[in-house]
Amino acid sequence: MPGNQQNQEQTAQDAVRLQLYMARCGVASRRASEAIILAGRVSVNGTVVTELGTKVGPADHVSVDGREIHLELDKRYVLLNKPAGYVCSLSDEQGRPVAASLLKEAYSERLYNVGRLDMFSCGLIIFTNDGDFAAKLSHPSAEMEKEYIVDSSLPLPRHLAQDFMKGIRVDGVFYRAQEAEELNARRLRVVLIEGKNREIRRVFEYYGVGIKRLIRIRIGNVGIGKLEEGQFRDLSAKEVSGLLRLCRGGQY
């Protein structure tokens, strides 16, 4: 009996929240895993679970969409230069190509994107199967710098860069760039830390200027370098640790 009690106590200590377990299995980030749970797509020991507070331990069998998942021991951190026309999602109801499909032949692990780029934008996005890493980088408190080059269809309004740095309110939402620099009459360099949905596009729409090309060239300490559109590479251990050090939060 004492041995069984000790095993039960150890199992309880090893138990983690279901969404964290899913993230560590490479299913999706914690936040995305919560949505999957609430949608009734997850079962534990054969029973569908929709409670976010559910905990699972080493002896539990967890399945997503009928397929059992397991902890992935090898952590992957992949940098992709996403071409325009791809959506940042593991699947798309409209049948549009997904960015993750560009990695499938090279990696057997289930990798998911950290943050997003809209379908019409291109540039850097990180994929991983490390849920803790993804949670730290994607949490708003991380204030991770992301740098963009924006080519416009018309000459830039004279004060757009200055206004963007001061802050612009569009339809009740406040947008402010960490840096904004006019490189020429139709090219703007922008650094953001908040990452609000379609932030740059909404600001340009507010000024009545169309965007010909929007490319993300840097995430934190990781730049685009010579990575061509559609190409990808593993992040180095130094780059991964550097990204984590740049996270200004800590609570996620």
- Helices 131-138 and 237-246 pack at an angle, to 10 degrees, of 40
The amino acid sitting at 162 is Q
Q: Please name which of 123, 104, 100, 103 lies closest in space to residue 112, comparing C-alpha atoms.
A: 100
What's the pLDDT at 168? 94
The torsion angles phi and psi of 40, rounded to 5 degrees, stand at 75, 25
Helix axes 30-38, 131-138, angle to 10 degrees: 100
Q: Report how far apart, in Å, the C-alpha atoms of 221 and of each of 117, 145, 159, 172 are.
A: 18, 9, 29, 32
Higher pLDDT residue, 72 or 110? 110
The per-residue pLDDT for range 108-130, each reduced to its tens digit, is 888 889 988 999 999 999 999 88
Dihedral sign for Cα 41, 44, 46, 49, please. negative
Residue 1, C-beta contacts closer than 8 angstroms, at least 6 positions apart: none
- pLDDT band for position 92 (50/70/90)? low
Each residue of 177-191: pLDDT tens digit? Answer: 999 999 999 999 999
- Whether 118 sits among the annotated catalytic residues: the reply is yes
Catalytic residue (choose from 60, 118, 132, 151): 118
Mean pLDDT, range 3-22, rounded to an integer: 65
Of 90, 92, 29, 20, nearest to 55 by C-alpha is 20
